[in-house]
Amino acid sequence: MCHVPRLFKLLAVLASVVMAGCASSVARVDTWEGQLPATTKPAVLQAPGEIQVVSVNGRNMTNFLIEDLALDYGLLPGENEVVFRYKTIWAKSGVVRNGESKVHVIESGTQVARFKASPDAVYGFEFDKPASRQEAEAMMESFSAKIVAGNGTVLAVSEEWDGQSRLTDNRTPVPASGVESTGLPQEGGTLEKLKAIWADASDEDKKAFLRWAFE
């Protein structure tokens, strides 16, 4: 009896579980390393598609950027320094020649916003929204964005980033434990991630899965 189809079936399902676990972490990008103490309640900074966060407290966030996708960023309570850019895209009118971009990309210079985050609070960006490409281009000369709390209170107004951090609090990341917020190992390949998933599964889940995989 050939077990190859079953093996492929098993690997495909397990791989999809790993991918689903990784994808779920995209909903909130945590800006620290390692696991936080259970008593810590991070704040959340909601960034719309026009805002591309470059770094938070000196940690590079560009690896998490997905073009024009709104993302939530988990923040440690206390002082935070968020470096970002504003970018908007406008379709070109008229005929577009071969090889020519079909859109105008309007992008600000690098901005920085500094503010103190409260535990479990939710913050967002507020900025003028242009009605045309011409307005967007004019905005870039003096662009800035506000960081606002849920009640509309303005916590900070961004300014041009000079590349110099001004953090006064100790923002040293939590020592890495080797585990992401998804519970999957940061290091190692698919096999190690599959082992982590299997270790967390209940006995009933393991039996049901094996029955399904080899039926």
Percent of the chain whose pLDDT exceeds 70: 62
Which is more confident, 58 or 8? 58
The string of pLDDT tens digits covering residues 193-214 is 566 666 666 776 666 666 666 5
Which two structure tokens, joined as six digits, stand for 165? Answer: 């951090």
CA distances from 33 to 47, 117, 158, 175, 176 (A): 20, 18, 25, 7, 5
The string of pLDDT tens digits covering residues 21-40 is 443 344 688 998 878 888 88
Confidence at residue 104, expressed as pLDDT on a 0 to 100 scale: 85
Confidence at residue 26, expressed as pLDDT on a 0 to 100 scale: 46
Residue type, 69: L
Structural domain of 47 = 4-213
Dihedral (C-alpha) 56, 62, 67, 68: value to the nearest 10 degrees?
Answer: 10
Question: Residue 52 above 60 pLDDT?
Answer: yes
Long-range contacts of 194-201 (CB under 8 A, 24+ apart): 194/14, 194/18, 197/14, 197/17, 197/18, 197/21
Question: Residue 18 above 50 pLDDT?
Answer: no
Looking at the 3D structure of the chain, how many domains does it have?
1
- Closest by CA to 84, choosing from 116, 118, 119, 124, is 124
The answer to whether the CB of 60 falls within 8 A of the CB of 98 is no
Which is more confident, 174 or 85? 85
Q: How confident is the model at residue 41 (pLDDT cuts 50, 70, 90)?
A: very high
Strand, helix or coil at 160? strand
Question: Residue 85 above 80 pLDDT?
Answer: yes
